[in-house]
Structure 1
Amino acid sequence: MARPIQFDRDQVIDRAMQAFWDQGYCATSISSLVQATRLNPGSIYAAFKSKEGLFLAALDRYGEQSLIRLSRTLESAASPLQGIRDYLRQLAASSADPEHARGCFLVNSVLELAHRDDKVRQHVNRHFGAIEACLKGALQESQRRGELAAAKDPEALAACLMSGIWGLRVLGGTGPDAGRTGAVVEQLLTLLD
C-alpha cells in the first residue's frame, strides 16, 4: 500500500516554480528540484509523474496568480479603464525593478520551450487567453460606460495590449530603468484614448 502524500502540494509547486523561473526548464535538474522542494525524487515523481508534470503545475500556478493580480487591480480601480492603466503601470514598475529582472515566467517559458513543446504551448496559451479575455471584458465594460470610444474594437485592443505586455516583460529581463518601461507603457496607454 502506497503511503499518503505528506507535504503541502502548493508549497512544493511554489518552490519548484522559483527554481524553474531562476534557471529555465532545461537547466533545472531533478537534483536542483529536490533541493528546492525538499522532496526526494520518488516523491516528486509520485506526485507529478515527471519533471515536466511539475513544470506544468508551476506554469499553471503562475498563470492563475497573474490572472488574480489583474482581476484584483481591475476590481479595486475607480473604473475598468483606470484598472487597465493601473495594471500596466504596475507592470512597468515591476519590469524595471532589479528584483524582478527574471521577467515573466510564462513569457520566459514561451521563449525557451513553446516552439518545440506542445504541452507548454497549450498551458501558456490558456493562461494568456484568460488574461486577454479579462482585459477584453474590462474594455467592453469601459465602452458600456462611455469611457472607451465606441469605434474601438475591444478584442483587437485586448490582443494589442497583450502583445505590449509580452514585450514589456521581455524588456524587463534586460534590466531597463523605470523611465524606459514607464515611457513604453504610456505609449501603450495612448491606445485607450
Structure 2
Amino acid sequence: MKFTPRSETTRQFIIETTAGIFNKKGYAGTSLSDLTEATRLTKGSIYGNFENKDDVALAVFNFNAERRANIIQERLGKAASHRDKLLAFIDLFSSAEIHVFPEGGCPLLNAGTEADDTHEPLRQRVAEELLETQRELAALIQQGITAREFRAEADPEQVATTILALIQGGIFIARTTRKPLHLDAVLETARKLVREIDTTTSP
C-alpha cells in the first residue's frame, strides 16, 4: 500500500527545517534525535509523514538539489554571454561564493560520497542531478559554439564533464584538507579550460 503523509504542510516543514542538518552532518550521520530536536516534533510525527529516515533523506536531498539549481539559474541569468555564464557557474563554487549554497555546501557532493553503497535511491538521484548539470553545461557550450563565442572544434560533452569533475574534485580536496585555497586553485584550471575554447583568445 502506498504511503500517505498525515500532513503535507508538516512534511514540508520537516524537510525545510532539517535540510541544513542532513547536508552538513551527512545522511547517515543525521539521527532521528537530530530531527526531533530541530523540528520539536515527536518521533511519531516524523514517521507519520515519512516511511523511514531514508525517506526523509531523499526528500531533503530533492529540496536541497532544487535550491542548488535555482541558485545556479539565477546567477547564470545575470550573465550576458555564454562564456560569462560558464565562468559564472565555475565562480559559484569558489571559496568566496560557495556559501550561497544550502548550509553544508554542495548537496550533490555531500550526498554522493556517502550514498554510493548505503542508499541506492539517493545515489540514483545524485547521479540524475550530476548528469543533468553535465547536459546543461554541454548545451551551454554548444550554444556558445553556434554563437561563435567558443571554438568549433570544442567538444561540449568533454568540456562539460571536465569542468564538473574539476569542481566536484576541488570541493572534495578542499573539504577533506580543510584548505579552501585548494578549491580555488582547481577552479582556476577550469577557467583556463574556458579560455582555451574562447574564440577571443589566441590558440
Q: TM-score, normalised by structure 1?
A: 0.86
- The answer to whether the 8 A contact 2:95-2:180 is kept is no
Show CA shifts across 1:39-73 (max 9, x none).
22122112121110110011111111112222222
The structure in which a higher percent of residues are helix is 1
CA distance in 2, matches of 1:6, 1:48: 10
CA distance in 2, matches of 1:3, 1:129: 30
RMSD: 2.6
CA distance in 2, matches of 1:100, 1:175: 19
CA distance in 1, matches of 2:95, 2:145: 27
2:178 to 175, 178, 186: 175
Show CA shifts across 1:48-102 (max 9, x none).
21110110011111111112222222221011221111221221134776x9994
1:134 to 133, 136, 139: 136
Structure 1 gap ranges (5+) = none
Task: Kindly state the Cα deviation for residue 172 of structure 1 after the two structures are TM-superposed.
Answer: 3.5
Within 5 Å, give how 1:30-109 maps onto structure 2: 30-94=32-96, 102-109=104-111
Show CA shifts across 1:12-56 (max 9, x none).
212212121222222211111111123221221121211101100
- The answer to whether the 8 A contact 1:96-1:172 is kept is no
Task: Kindly state the Cα deviation for residue 129 of structure 1 after the two structures are TM-superposed.
Answer: 1.6
CA distance in 2, matches of 1:159, 1:25: 26
Spell out structure 1 runs of 4+ moving beyond 3 A.
6-11, 94-97, 99-103
Show CA shifts across 1:129-179 (max 9, x none).
22222211211111111111111111111111111121122133133244x
- The answer to whether the 8 A contact 1:136-1:158 is kept is yes
Structure 2 gap ranges (5+) = 197-203
Task: Kindly state the Cα deviation for residue 124 of structure 1 after the two structures are TM-superposed.
Answer: 0.5
Which structure exhibits the higher relative contact order, with contacts defined as CA atoms closer than 8 Å and separated by 6 or more residues?
1
Residue 110 of structure 1 aligns with which residue? 112
Q: TM-score, normalised by structure 2?
A: 0.82
